[in-house]
Amino acid sequence: MKIAVIGTGYVGLVSGVCFAEKGNHVICVDQDKQKVEKLQNRISPIFEPGIEELMDRNLKAGRLAFTSDLTQAIQQSELIIIAVGTPSLPNGEADLQYIEQAVMQIGQAMNGHKIVATKSTVPVGTNEHIQMILAMNTMETFDVVSIPEFLREGSAIQDTLHPDRIVIGLDNLDLTETLTELHRAFTDQIFVTSIRSAEMIKYASNAFLATKISFINEISNICEKVGADVTEVAKGMGQDRRIGASFLNAGIGYGGSCFPKDTDALIQIAGNVDYEFQLLKSVVEVNKSQRYKVITKLEGSLGRLSGKIIGIWGLSFKPNTDDIRYAPSIEIVETLLKAGARLKLYDPIAMEKFREHIDHPAIQWCESALEAATGADALCLLTDWDEFKTAPLSQLVFIMEQPILIDGRNVYSREQIEGTGIHYYSVGRPDQKHPTRHKAVV
């Protein structure tokens, strides 16, 4: 099929490349000319494992192209996929300005019948609004469908090539065969439903996953008080197939460009029809306070933080991505700076993006995990990158001022900590304190 993808962010780029990989002819459009130039030079503007290899292969095969010329892309395609951002407005509602602008441009460029598919996450009823905007901007015929995206950053290629399911929301049943056929290249688990249900499935799925995380985080807070270990509790719970083991990792809570904005948006969607989504409001509140556990634990072991040197391992909202949108690290770093701490930051990939967001004279940007730990009064792990999971912990006692490790993602096992001399604090698990050793001279 000939496909145009509007927006080459995390979703648009990955979808475009994966549709090309399955033999379709895909042209990806972005209004950001610098991004397009990079892409044309086979450089991905985002860090996503495997993306550049797939880009390269499909560009060479002539199935993939990048442009900032939206009209040309629309005119040569049968299916137009909208993958522009839908960030939050200050009241939590989804900001639809990029959708509206893109749809207007699509309408004005149309030169015949097109299927317009919305992949961006949009509130229930938005696709009807899209139909209206298109009708106001073109005399051509069109169909609007909702095909929400469920990929996760960091494993976006795998998730797209091997999804658990694909949801297709459509009102014109004549499109069922064409769209099912197109997506069967990825999976047979295709669920065709109404447009409004498809829009709701996306928000409900994210809200449910966020609820699992806040639930286990609350359990972890209780575990700390009653002396249970939340990792064992989660394991025991997860063995029940009705509960499932995934999304039960306690820690400093969820971040990223999706859960925070989509939970806020769903609360607003409910509010707009006079329904107070009490459960989801609590999920959001629990998540907001959970990240401060790191600060409380630091204060508990160091007292006043002013003048203290704190090493930070991990800035991205999760491993294997450079995305820092709504990362818990942002508020933690801001709070530590306000408290007068001096910070040594390290992330394998997200340093540049983080530095564009926050720069401060009290921050030292480090080139390795061990450099960030050197001379620190305490070390906080905020992102569960593999590099940290396999870090040489036994060296910390020699290089840190005080060997205090606050593990915000419950990465290390008791066995890994034992014998290292580290005072280890995690989330919802018993602390492991050791007799203070004097720093050895190395």
Is 86 among the annotated ligand-binding positions? yes
3-state secondary structure of 4: strand
* Site membership for ligand UPG, residue 258 (CB under 6 A): yes
Is 60 among the annotated ligand-binding positions? no
Distance CA 127, CA 435 (A): 62
Q: Give the x/- contact pattern for ligand NAD in 238-277, rule: CB under 6 A.
A: -------------------xx-------------------
Is 231 among the annotated ligand-binding positions? no
Considering only residues 24, 58, 86, 217, which one is a binding residue for ligand NAD as defined by CB under 6 A? 86
CB of 407 to ligand NAD, least distance (A): 25
Q: Give the x/- contact pattern for ligand UPG in 107-146, rule: CB under 6 A.
A: --------------x-------------------------
Instruction: Name the nearest CA neighbour of 105 among 194, 29, 199, 200.
Output: 29
206: Cβ–Cβ under 8 A, 6 or more apart, which residues? 121, 258, 259, 262, 263, 266
Count of residues that bind ligand UPG according to CB under 6 A: 22
CB of 242 to ligand UPG, least distance (A): 17
Specify the residue, 24 or 121, whose C-beta has the smaller distance to ligand UPG.
121
Considering only residues 104, 175, 209, 237, which one is a binding residue for ligand UPG as defined by CB under 6 A? 209
CA dihedral 181, 185, 188, 191 (to 10 degrees): -60
Is 202 among the annotated ligand-binding positions? yes
Residue appearing with tokens 């390269």: 56
Distance CA 54, CA 44 (A): 11
* Site membership for ligand UPG, residue 260 (CB under 6 A): no
Distance CA 258, CA 68 (A): 26
Report yes or no: 104 and 137 within 8 Å, Cβ to Cβ.
Answer: yes
Instruction: Name the nearest CA neighbour of 6 among 33, 40, 39, 29.
Output: 29
* Site membership for ligand NAD, residue 102 (CB under 6 A): yes
Distance CA 195, CA 250 (A): 34
Return the residues of window 121-160 that contact ligand NAD according to CB under 6 A: 121, 149, 151, 153
Is 244 among the annotated ligand-binding positions? no
* Site membership for ligand UPG, residue 249 (CB under 6 A): yes
* Residues labelled catalytic: 258
Report yes or no: 290 and 280 within 8 Å, Cβ to Cβ.
Answer: no
Considering only residues 24, 77, 120, 160, which one is a binding residue for ligand NAD as defined by CB under 6 A? 120
Considering only residues 4, 5, 12, 391, which one is a binding residue for ligand NAD as defined by CB under 6 A? 12
Distance CA 224, CA 429 (A): 6
245: Cβ–Cβ under 8 A, 6 or more apart, which residues? 234, 235, 238, 239
When CB distances are held under 5 to 8 angstroms depending on the partner's kind, the choice from ligand UPG, ligand NAD, none that residue 98 binds is ligand NAD
* Site membership for ligand UPG, residue 213 (CB under 6 A): yes
* Site membership for ligand UPG, residue 47 (CB under 6 A): no
* Site membership for ligand NAD, residue 305 (CB under 6 A): no
Instruction: Name the nearest CA neighbour of 347 among 308, 383, 400, 293.
Output: 383
Instruction: Name the nearest CA neighbour of 148 among 131, 125, 163, 167.
Output: 167
Distance CA 302, CA 321 (A): 31
Considering only residues 3, 4, 5, 11, which one is a binding residue for ligand NAD as defined by CB under 6 A? 11
Angle at the Cα of 31 from the Cα atoms of 26 and 32, rounded to 5 degrees = 105
User: Which residues are annotated as part of the binding site for NAD(+)?
Assistant: 30, 35, 86, 121, 153, 261, 325
**Chain contacts with ligand NAD (rule: CB under 6 A):** 6-12, 29-32, 35, 70, 83-86, 98, 101-102, 105, 120-121, 149, 151, 153, 257-258
User: Which residues are annotated as part of the binding site?
Assistant: 30, 35, 86, 121, 150-153, 202, 247-251, 255, 261, 318, 325
